[in-house]
Structure 1
Amino acid sequence: MKGMEDMKAGMEGKERRWYCVRTQTRREGIAGKILKERGFEVFGPQMRFRKKTVRGPVWFQEALFPGYVFAHFDRRHEWRGVGYAPGVRGLVHFGEQTPDIPEEFIQDLRRDLGVDETAVIEDLPRPGEEVTICEGRLQGLRVRVTNVMSATRRVQVLLEMLGRTIELEFDARAVSTDDRHPLERRRG
């Protein structure tokens, strides 16, 4: 039981703080997972966004801060467990100074990102912009955006049909700001 008492005594004197940990390129997830397995609290926020590809718009997910994660540890006593973890390159430092990250910053960022710790970046069209309808029976038609309701991620567009102008509402994901017709995008 002496070993357990020594371990508890060692934990009492620790001053855990948040630090910005530099990771190897595109290895934020691996470094974060290993640090968690070693018992450290890790925060590696993500961003989710759509990119136009040959197949049309596709969702991608990447680190919000590429090449970095935040880890909560006592730098004096636990640095080796962090610094020598696979995927880790070191701590962010400025000369001899290694700044800690304020707890409030991490908490605010976590609150803003939500439970899944992911920021969703949506490229919504702007009023007056021409877009192409990508889904449904009107797929391929070019229309002009009249209004964007960002809270509901919907757009209103003007459609000129049979000599009259009609205003329609679409989910923002159903329109594309790409200049080419959706079928042309697939070809090349």
Structure 2
Amino acid sequence: MAERSWYAIQCKAKESFRAAENLQNQGFEVFHPFIEVEKIRSGKLKLIEEPLFPYYLFIYLSDATDNWHPIRSTRGVLKMLAFGSTPVKIPDSLIEELKQRILPAPENVFKAGDQVLINEGPFKGLEAIFATKKGDERVILLLNLLQKQQRIEIATRAVRPL
């Protein structure tokens, strides 16, 4: 069996998602790491997917058996990264580490009264009490501030069990 390796592909501006989809439709194995960020769209706070590496994605190919020619004419693809005419191999260990780091965190299941730690934002490092969920992406916490319990609303991903 031919040995397969990961290679990097440079994509056209803001077309990495298109390139990944088109390459997958052609039967290639593609790794396109992305993160979710909160952005204001149409006056509302929304979670938007953005590439972890803007302009780049990774493709798993065999030197011997895969047909590389369709890659360069795929919509969204600019070129394969290469030193001269030799495509750059990306170590499997690097791809595996990236996959482990970007896996979605397991859904935090809190009950009312649970102690939690805030790990993002202006209240980072403070302990609070879980009150309730507010939709899929927000939670209500009780936080002791100025000798009084204050209700704050925060992103679910910014809270972890204590």
CA distance in 2, matches of 1:23, 1:29: 9
- Quote the offset at 1:126 in angstroms: 2.7
Identity %: 23
Q: TM-score, normalised by structure 2?
A: 0.65
1:50 Cα offset (Å)? 1.1
SS of the residue 2:89 aligns to = coil
Structure ranking higher in strand proportion: 2
- Is the 2:6–2:60 contact (alpha carbons within 8 Å) kept by the matching residues of 1? yes
Q: Could you say what the CA RMSD is over the residues aligned between the two structures, in angstroms?
A: 3.3
For residues 114-145 of structure 1, give each alpha carbon's deviation from its aligned partner in whole angstroms, at most 9, with x where no partner exists: 269xxxxxx93234xxxxxxxxxxxxxxxxx8
Q: Aligned partners of 2:77 and 2:63: how far apart in 1?
A: 15
Question: CA contact under 8 A between 2:35 and 2:102: conserved in structure 1?
Answer: no
The equivalent residue for 2:120 is 124
- Which structure 2 residues correspond to residues 4-153 of structure 1 after superposition, within 5 A? 12=1, 14-52=2-40, 55-75=43-63, 77-114=66-103, 124-127=120-123, 147=126
Residues in 2 aligned to 1:79 and 1:93: alpha-carbon distance in whole angstroms: 14
Asked if 2 retains the 8 angstrom alpha-carbon contact of 1:91 and 1:98, the reply is: yes
Give TM-score, length-normalised by structure 1.
0.57
Query: Match for residue 173 of structure 1?
Result: 155
Gaps of 5+ in 1: 1-11, 117-122, 128-144, 160-164, 175-188
Gapped regions of structure 2 (runs ≥ 5): 106-118, 129-138, 157-162
CA distance, structure 2, for counterparts of residue 59 and residue 40 of structure 1: 28
Q: Is the 8 A contact 1:155 1:172 kept in 2?
A: no
**CA 35–115 in structure 1, closer or farther in 2 if over 3 Å, else same:** farther
1:63-82 per-residue CA deviation (whole Å, 9 max, x = no partner) reads 11111110011256532132
Structure of greater Rg: 1
